[in-house]
């Protein structure tokens, strides 16, 4: 392949396949605060104010259990249009994710980061399982939705995005016919594999490796006297490769997300039962 030269004709449009910058920043801040709270709580788990049977420690348990119950509002709001006065689905989704972090943290404080008695240990284990399941679900959700929105990605949307990027790259003279044909071939492979679960699973690794090879080759041969324009071209290519990865694994992640929904609800019911048993046992005995 010859050296690729470009001319700064215009700007490459960016795809919204990732959360917006404010959303990503807010996520980083929340995760940092949660980790800090976990470290602080673990180091002070034996302090008197964390007594699970009295005072702050007791009310932290009530708050944590309440947060876990409030999590139910999101699926109810999502499935019942009559609950629209409660707020948008997007708001409750974000609130659901936030409480899914804060609830387990407060319960860990309440339990002093230990198992305690048998019924409290069962409740804590159920909470950890559900929280872990929620993190897995969040990852799968991000693979089939745009950013933190509730809009599901569709194969036709990804194809439109990739076609627009290819048009932009051709307009920017990203390379010769060989480069463009290679990118089109990668797009076709991604779309074909993204229409079924097993083909998506098979291409999970193969298309990623192929895109890495193509990207490295283009980066090596791309020359542009304008450093800013060269960076825009590279960002456009990154968006294209990201879209191909999304397209190739779309059916794979969609099926996993559906299976996760079937598993997560029974786990949550188990958590509610374990917490209810724990509360009854504590107040009865």
Among residues 34, 52, 36, the alpha carbon closest in space to that of 107 is found at 52
Q: What is the pLDDT of residue 155?
A: 66
Among residues 130, 142, 149, the alpha carbon closest in space to that of 67 is found at 130
Positive or negative: CA dihedral 49, 52, 54, 59:
positive
Q: What is the pLDDT of residue 121?
A: 85
Q: What is the pLDDT of residue 9?
A: 43
Long-range contact pairs involving 279-284 (C-beta distance under 8 Å, separation at least 24): 279/65, 281/119, 282/53, 282/119, 282/120
> With contact defined as beta carbons under 8 Å apart, do 52 and 181 qualify?
no
Joined tokens for residue 76? 């109810």
As a whole number of angstroms, the distance between CA 247 and CA 196 comes to 11
Torsion of CA 137, 138, 142, 146, to 10 degrees: 120
The tens-digit pLDDT sequence of the chain (285 residues) is 444 444 444 454 555 555 566 777 878 888 899 999 999 999 988 888 888 888 888 899 899 889 988 988 888 888 888 888 888 888 888 888 889 889 999 999 998 888 877 778 888 898 889 989 988 988 888 777 765 555 566 666 777 777 777 777 666 655 556 667 777 777 777 777 766 777 767 776 777 777 777 777 777 766 655 566 667 777 777 777 877 877 777 778 888 888 898 898 888 888 888 888 888 887 776
Residue 154 has a CB neighbour count (10 Å cut-off) of 11
Q: What is the pLDDT of residue 36?
A: 94
């Amino acid at each position: 392949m010859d050296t690729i030269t470009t001319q700064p004709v215009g700007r490459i449009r960016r795809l919204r396949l990732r959360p917006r910058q404010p959303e990503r920043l807010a996520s980083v801040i929340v995760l940092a605060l949660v980790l800090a709270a976990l470290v602080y709580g673990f180091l002070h788990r034996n302090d008197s104010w964390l007594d699970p049977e009295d005072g702050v420690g007791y009310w932290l348990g009530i708050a944590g259990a309440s947060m876990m119950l409030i999590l139910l509002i999101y699926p109810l709001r999502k499935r019942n249009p009559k609950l629209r006065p409660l707020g948008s689905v997007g708001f409750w989704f974000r609130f659901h994710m936030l409480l899914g972090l804060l609830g387990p943290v407060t319960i860990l404080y309440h339990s002093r980061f230990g198992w305690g008695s048998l019924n409290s240990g069962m409740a804590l284990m159920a909470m950890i399982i559900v929280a872990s399941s929620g993190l897995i679900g969040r990852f799968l959700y991000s693979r089939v939705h745009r950013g933190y929105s509730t809009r599901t990605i569709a194969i036709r949307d990804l194809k439109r995005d990739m076609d627009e990027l290819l048009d932009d790259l051709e307009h920017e003279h990203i390379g010769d016919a060989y480069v463009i044909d290679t990118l089109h071939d990668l797009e076709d492979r991604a779309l074909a594999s993204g229409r079924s679960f097993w083909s998506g699973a098979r291409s999970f690794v193969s298309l990623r490796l192929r895109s890495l090879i193509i990207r490295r080759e283009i980066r090596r041969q791309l020359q542009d006297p304008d450093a800013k324009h060269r960076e825009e071209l590279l960002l456009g290519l990154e968006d294209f490769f990201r879209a191909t990865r999304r397209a190739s694994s779309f059916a794979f992640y969609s099926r996993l997300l559906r299976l996760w929904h079937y598993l997560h609800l029974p786990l949550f019911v188990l958590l509610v039962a374990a917490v209810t048993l724990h509360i009854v046992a504590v107040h009865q005995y």
